[in-house]
Each structure stands twice: as C-alpha cells, then as structure tokens.
Structure 1
C-alpha cells in the first residue's frame, strides 16, 4: 500500500511517500480501506520528534480516518465488511489501509461525506472526554475554549453550544473571532489585541466561566485561574505555550478550583470504546440532524501530506485539514 512516512524529525518536507505492507488486522480489529485521513496537532509533534507513538502502535502518522471496512472481525462493535466508518487510532492513518480496534469505529453519520467524517474522531473523542467527562460541564454552565478556530476548538464551540452552554473562545484574529461566533460562540476574543481575562469577566458580569479547555498552558494558566468562577475547572489538553506555569495557589484553595488534564493516544482500547459509545448516543444524532458539522478548511491528496502540514504549521486554517486517498 501507499503510505506517508516520517523520514527523520523535522519540517513538513520530512513527510515522504513510501510503499508499506498492508497491515493485518488482529483479534477484534477491522481493516479499513481509507478514503480520507484527518491531520492533527499530535501528527505535527510526532513529525518534529516530540511525540513518539506508544508501544505497539504504527510509526506512520495519522490518528483518524474514514473509509470502508474490507476485512477483519467487527462483531464486537456490530460492524461488517462493507460498512462505512470513521475511526480513532494510535497511528497509521496516513495510508491506503489501516487496522483499527472495531470498538474505536463509528458509522459515518448520515449526510456527511467521507472527508467530513475523517475530521470527526480525534476532535470529538478529545472534546467529549475532556469537556464533558473530565471537565464535567453541566447544565447551565459556561465554557471558555482556547484555540477556538482549530479543529478541536470549532468542535468544542459547536458541541457545547448545541447542548445549551454559552461558549467563549480565544482566537488569533478578528476574522477568526467572527468565524467562531458564526459557529455559535457567544463571544470570540482576539487574544492578540484583547485581554481575554477582562473580556471574559465583562461578558459574564464578573462571574467567570465554569470550565476552560486549554491547549496552550504556559502562562495562560495564571490567567485561566482569574477567568474561573468558583468551583471552576481547567482542563489542559496540550502545552503549545510551554510546560511551566505560575499561578496563585491560594485562589485554588479559597475558590475550590480544579486544574486537570489528559492525553488520549496511549489510553486503553476499553477507555476509547467507552467514549465511542457516548458519542454515538449523545453526539451522532446532532451530526445527523445537522445541528453541528465538522469544519473542513482544506483537503490535500495523500501524497501532498507535506503541503498539508505546511498549512497547519502556518496557522492560517480554520477547522480541519484532511488528506484524501
């Protein structure tokens, strides 16, 4: 099969087309003929040598795909050969075929294309697990999303809004602020020209927000603490701004704040299967009703993965970048 390999750590140019053996599905796995594969920030970190795949995972990049099941055993998830699915994986998505645990597959939602479906798994698994499970966003509560124009951000904004939560989002331009507002955000905040702490306090009449989804960390955590309402929660899912943070721990004590975080890639199959079941019950109906939809900024053929990564590195996209096979 054709695949995209990381030849050495570096820039987008290290992504090169290669020929690889078609993977053999193991027990409980299905073989998917890939139609499209989503690009995510962890792929970029792996390309740079900063995020190696977990033991036993493919060394090829790619954490989500959509395509057709062409082999393997899908009985554990009620799947059969010929079914069209999207799937979350620990690696290997930049290829013509990939083997995936069946329980990490979900049907392509009615009305969505393969390209759109390929942009679902990594972002929706991540948002559901961190905003609703770990962050415990409850009825009547508010959410602040950093990186609101990213794939994760556009997903979090739409999903929280569809479930009735006011959402605020930080972005890097006025254009992006308007874009996230069009997706349902109560307020898009341009962090380059506005102080997001002041804007959140003003928009919430000084109360603050209940949950913050933070992919920046670094010096954002100190400001996040100031943005939180009493009993508020910060959920860190990436550290694009650095791993070290300084904040007023007294605020955490006095106002009963929680700072937590998680990564998804190395979690057990059973954990991911639980998220898949929750998404199928609570989120897939919203997708099929058209109340939420993946935002696809651009597509590239598989062999142009390096150009797709260059676009992601530029930060000029809103939503997902997808490879087509």
Structure 2
C-alpha cells in the first residue's frame, strides 16, 4: 500500500510517499480502506522527533484519524461489517491507503457527511469531549475559555459548547479568525496579539479553560478562573515549566489538570467513542455542529499539507485525500 512515511526527523520535506506492506485486521480490529486522513499538530511534532508514537504502533507513518470503508474484519469483531462507512481514532498510521484499528475506536460516519468531513472529526471530538466535558466538567450556563479558537480543537469546542448552552470565549490571532468564530457561536473573541485576555476577563471570570499554550498563560489562567474553576492543558506550546501560587489554588478551590489522548488505553477510548456517539453525533445530525475543513490536499502533497499546518493561518482542519 502507499503511505506517507517519516524518513528522518526534521522539516516537512522528510515526509516521503512510500510503498509499505499492507496492514491486516486481527482479533477485534477492522481494516479500513482510507479515503481521507486528518492532519494534526501532533503529526508535525512526531515528524520533528518531539512526540513518539506509543509502543506497538506504526511509528514511521503519522496520522491519528481517518475516514473510509471497512474492507475486512478480524474474527472477534461484532460491531462492524464489510462495506460500513466509518471514521476512526488511531494511535498512528493514518497517512496510508489502509489502516487497521480496534473496532471500539470507530464511529459511523454521520448522515450527510462525506469522507473528507468525517476525517476531520475523531481527534478533535475525542479531545474536546474528554477534556472539556469529562475532565473540565463544563455545565450548561457556565463559561468556557478556549485558547486557539480557530484551530481544529477550537472550532469543535465552540460548536459543541454552544450547542450545550455554555458561554464560549476564545482567543484568536486576527480579526478574520474572530469573525469566523463568532459565526460558529462564540460569545466573545479576544485577539491575543493586541489584547490581554486577563485584563478583559478579570472581572467576569470563567469556569473552565482549555489551554494549549501553558508557559506565560498559566498564571493568567489561574487569575481569571472563578471559584471552583477548572484549567485543563492539552499542550504546552508556550513552555512546559511554570510556577504557581498554591495559596490561590487553595482559596479559590481550583482544579488544574491535563491530558494526552494518544497513549490512553483501548478501554478508555472505546468508552469515549460510545459517549461521543450518544452525545455529539446527534448534534451533527441536527445541524448544530458541522465539520470545518480549511483545505484538502492530495496524499501526494503531504509535505505541503503539513507546511500549511505549521503556517498557522488555517481555520479548522487540514485533510489528506486518498482518492484519485
């Protein structure tokens, strides 16, 4: 099969279109003929040698989410059959014509969506549901601040939180991105290049913060959290080492946490998929949440796709297309 492999750690040019052995489905796995693959920031980090794939995964092939058609099932598979249209969360190996994944990490493609749109969903929806609604415990009428509102995670968080009746605040890098986020349902957009989110939010406060920055944002986040507020980290682009006023943590009864999804065990991901099918898929089918695809690249142009990701001008998801 054709796959995009990492020849060595470095810039996007180290990605190569290669012929590799076709994977197969064993035990409780399904084999998916991939029609589209989602591009994520973690793929770039893996290519740079900063985010290794978990043990026993296809380390040289990046890619955490795909959409396609089930072409084979392992002997213990009960949820799926050949011909089913699915999207799936993977530990790696998604930039390829075929991907094998445990059946519990697959979801049916929502009615009305094509493969490109469906491939944009798994990584962001699993991340948002896990961190904002499970870990962050966001409730209706509470306020949510998302740093990076126009990212794939951001546009997903805005729509789901808005549909579930939360007040949504985001930081963005320019007015074009702000306008787009308002269109998705954001209640307030703050341009982090010209405005200080702490100054703007210090009186209002927020209940939950989803943060990808850490570093200089950390103390600012604590300062604007309301009593019993929750801060959840999913990246540390601004620096991983921070200091904290523990007394402030105690007085306000704050909860500070973080997570990564890729290394979580199968039992957890399977449960998460079930909850997403129950709580999020109906929002898509009701038109309250839609995939936001910024640009689609042929699999032959994976280098340009990751360069597009690194430029950070995109709004929504970047997708590789495997047909044609």
Category of TM-score, reference length = shorter chain:
over 0.9
Distance 1:191-1:77 versus aligned 2 partners, 3 A rule: farther
Separation in structure 1 between the aligned mates of residue 187 and residue 75 of structure 2, nearest angstrom: 41
SS at match of 1:32: strand
In structure 1, the partner of 2:53 is 53
Instruction: Determine if contact 1:168/1:200 at 8 Å carries over to the other structure.
Output: no
Q: Kindly state the Cα deviation for residue 24 of structure 1 after the two structures are TM-superposed.
A: 1.4
In structure 2, the partner of 1:298 is 295
Distance 1:234-1:74 versus aligned 2 partners, 3 A rule: farther
Q: Kindly state the Cα deviation for residue 25 of structure 1 after the two structures are TM-superposed.
A: 1.2
Q: What is the TM-score normalised by the length of structure 2?
A: 0.97
In structure 2, the partner of 1:20 is 20
In structure 1, the partner of 2:310 is 313
Separation in structure 2 between the aligned mates of residue 209 and residue 79 of structure 1, nearest angstrom: 42
Structure 1 runs of 4+ aligned residues shifted over 4 Å read 74-77
Distance 1:243-1:210 versus aligned 2 partners, 3 A rule: same
SS at match of 1:57: coil
Q: 1:8-57 deviations in whole A, cap 9, x for unaligned?
A: 11111111100011101121000000000000011010000000101001
Q: Kindly state the Cα deviation for residue 188 of structure 1 after the two structures are TM-superposed.
A: 0.8
In structure 2, the partner of 1:150 is 151
Separation in structure 2 between the aligned mates of residue 85 and residue 200 of structure 1, nearest angstrom: 41
Question: Of 276, 279, 303, which residue of structure 2 is paired with 1:279?
Answer: 276
Question: Of 249, 262, 267, which residue of structure 1 is paired with 2:264?
Answer: 267
In structure 1, the partner of 2:189 is 188
Are positions 1:240 and 2:237 aligned together?
A: yes
* Pairwise CA RMSD: 1.0
Q: Kindly state the Cα deviation for residue 84 of structure 1 after the two structures are TM-superposed.
A: 0.1
Task: Name stretches of at least 5 consecutive residues in structure 2 with no aligned partner.
Answer: none
Instruction: Determine if contact 1:30/1:74 at 8 Å carries over to the other structure.
Output: no
Are positions 1:175 and 2:176 aligned together?
A: yes
In structure 2, the partner of 1:67 is 68
Q: What is the TM-score normalised by the length of structure 1?
A: 0.97
Instruction: Determine if contact 2:26/2:75 at 8 Å carries over to the other structure.
Output: no
Instruction: Determine if contact 1:36/1:65 at 8 Å carries over to the other structure.
Output: yes
Q: Kindly state the Cα deviation for residue 247 of structure 1 after the two structures are TM-superposed.
A: 2.9
Separation in structure 2 between the aligned mates of residue 189 and residue 9 of structure 1, nearest angstrom: 35
Q: 1:134-166 deviations in whole A, cap 9, x for unaligned?
A: 111122211000011100011011110010000
